[in-house]
Structure 1
């Protein structure tokens, strides 16, 4: 995903890239620990790379005002460190094997060390925000609460009174959208942009976050391992409920016999893999789900969320920044890895 795709002016793109490099240097500095026991695992996922969508959005949103400054860069670092911290915890809870093309942290060390590394990052993010004022502290705290609630609701699953698909979309909004929304609002806050831009850019951020995760559900089924960095159907084989699978369940429950048959085959394969069978057992079902209409419907849903995100920006004046934000939403739903 090219973060600078939407920045049409070459000098503007170059200036943003320079700012992002400053933020990257700050991330390295803030994730350096005196204790060697903490230092290596704490920087592990940072060194593995990443798209840096959140800090880029903070920098871009700040340009709705006076542009990047020390507080904007600090906010960008705090948001990205919070994101990295959540990945350590997510991978332990999901028993993930890979993250960003490298072994997940808990497979290199242990669950306990991965959890503590994540805790260290949360602490560093809080330290960064602590000197930025009460509003920033409260925003970070509320965002962290939503991250936890999203993970809790995902772990427990929908309750009898919950519709599975709306429940899933709310989990995505909490786990992913909330932090991207926070990144955008901090850019407005510390870039001293007009206050009336704060809520629209937050809505934009939350909606592109959901769109991002929905496209991830589609990418999970992609056979292009060189682009995705993982085997097609990794989530499906692990029994993770993604939107294509939830839509298939809904169709089967509504009496579609062919979909019920495919769903039964997927469920049986997931159970067999959990019991030690070769993951290749599900290859035909992964292909069938990739080619199914539910995957096209997932793509269409992601596009609707991205379009609604762009619609939230209507209050913003026409500018290169607004166009860059619009193109960022577009690039999220057209990416292949």
Structure 2
């Protein structure tokens, strides 16, 4: 864990990435300032859990009129009931002897989230014995792993917000955010250890892929490596691996037939890439009230997205694309804090450029490939729900 912390602290210089300067001396030592302690007290006293206006299955497209048969409705109800058990498990697990650790660990949990990964685990579990206790444990562990990665990602990306609230390192500083992520990874590993050697291996493999995905993103493509192929590999590691683990966990810990395992893993890998490509499109959305982010948040932070990579390809032979790329690098990516009219105009131009439509089309292609991977599964409510889940991923607006 200490080694991971050192890696995350050592942010390699990135082109067009903003830097906020050195941390105050007491923050560098990991000591909370009086202001940060005040924020801790405030968060502890308020600590609101954001309630969802609709069930998790409805948000995933499983509650519409398409799912009208008794079997379909029963499946959706079972998953929603299972999600409540996962939520309870998450709250129960995030209690530490150190009260500050409890508050910081619950911070992003309380901020909401779609619970995509637990829902997928509960869904694939219906290929076996259904939502049994081991599946709940695995789903909770996978969600904790996801939460941990968010704390670390926000430090590395210098993100201001997450899930509509100030990011953890904005509230308490980098050291606390990194340590909180480490704690969540550790607790997720403890949960998986309760399920035996198979679960431990699944967790370790997934964790390794998450870190390697982040590592690949940090160091960038090798000389001669195609930037788009490299980017897709990053998405497969950082996003696809964990979604695949969720789908796999549902099969493994519900004692479903072994032949269903690889199809749902392939499904999860591909839908994870589709999920992130849609995020790239939504980053340019002019509706921050839906996305929870300022348009171009990733670009302002110097984070590469597929529309930008596709624009770089076009800029080689297209003057208009080259001009837009220059404006983005000059007005948006050099100074991520810039909220100028020029920055907003450049982001709008990228949103309206053909490369963004191409990114959306690629996301739909990955979703179709994910559905095709389900061919070996038996027809029925689960396969139908997984198909609709894939469609909802690329139809979402937040």
TM-score (norm 2): 0.82
| TM superposition shift of 1:271 | 5.0
Aligned to 2:395: 334
Of 353, 366, 373, the match for 1:292: 353
| TM superposition shift of 1:273 | 2.2
| Alignment pair present for 1:324 and 2:385 | yes
Any conservation in 1 of the 2:300–2:333 contact (CA below 8 Å)?
A: no
CA–CA distance in 1 between the matches of 2:315 and 2:287? 28
| Alignment pair present for 1:64 and 2:127 | yes
| Alignment pair present for 1:105 and 2:168 | yes
| Alignment pair present for 1:269 and 2:331 | yes
Any conservation in 1 of the 2:263–2:376 contact (CA below 8 Å)?
A: yes
Which is helix-richer, 1 or 2?
Answer: 1
Which structure 1 residue ranges, 4+ long, deviate > 4 Å from structure 2? none
| Alignment pair present for 1:33 and 2:96 | yes
CA–CA distance in 1 between the matches of 2:131 and 2:341? 49
| Alignment pair present for 1:14 and 2:70 | no
Aligned to 2:188: 125
| TM superposition shift of 1:35 | 1.5
CA–CA distance in 1 between the matches of 2:343 and 2:75? 47
CA–CA distance in 2 between the matches of 1:137 and 1:280? 51
| Alignment pair present for 1:176 and 2:239 | yes
State the Cα deviation string for residues 244-263 of structure 1 (Å, max 9, x = none): 0000000112x111101111
CA–CA distance in 2 between the matches of 1:51 and 1:121? 18
* TM-aligned CA distance change 1:55 to 1:107, over 3 Å: same
CA–CA distance in 2 between the matches of 1:32 and 1:188? 29
| TM superposition shift of 1:270 | 2.8
Any conservation in 2 of the 1:6–1:325 contact (CA below 8 Å)?
A: no
* TM-aligned CA distance change 1:304 to 1:271, over 3 Å: closer
Matches for 1:309-320 after TM superposition, within 5 Å: 309-320=370-381
Any conservation in 1 of the 2:118–2:140 contact (CA below 8 Å)?
A: yes
Any conservation in 2 of the 1:33–1:39 contact (CA below 8 Å)?
A: yes
| TM superposition shift of 1:272 | 4.8
Any conservation in 2 of the 1:221–1:286 contact (CA below 8 Å)?
A: yes
Aligned to 1:92: 155
Residues matched between the structures, number: 335
| Alignment pair present for 1:186 and 2:249 | yes
Alignment RMSD: 1.3
CA–CA distance in 2 between the matches of 1:131 and 1:233? 42
Any conservation in 1 of the 2:240–2:269 contact (CA below 8 Å)?
A: yes
TM-score (norm 1): 0.97
CA–CA distance in 2 between the matches of 1:198 and 1:148? 24
| TM superposition shift of 1:161 | 2.3
Of 253, 258, 275, the match for 2:320: 258
Residue 49 of structure 1 aligns to a residue in which SS? Answer: coil
Residue 335 of structure 2 aligns to a residue in which SS? Answer: helix
Residue 375 of structure 2 aligns to a residue in which SS? Answer: helix
| TM superposition shift of 1:101 | 0.2
Any conservation in 1 of the 2:149–2:181 contact (CA below 8 Å)?
A: yes
Any conservation in 2 of the 1:4–1:13 contact (CA below 8 Å)?
A: no
CA–CA distance in 2 between the matches of 1:277 and 1:335? 28
Query: Could you tell which deviates more after superposition, 227-236 or 50-59?
Result: 227-236
| TM superposition shift of 1:27 | 0.5
| TM superposition shift of 1:236 | 1.7
State the Cα deviation string for residues 193-235 of structure 1 (Å, max 9, x = none): 1100101100100111100000000001010111111111111
Any conservation in 1 of the 2:60–2:393 contact (CA below 8 Å)?
A: no
Residue 156 of structure 2 aligns to a residue in which SS? Answer: helix
CA–CA distance in 2 between the matches of 1:155 and 1:81? 23
CA–CA distance in 2 between the matches of 1:107 and 1:171? 26
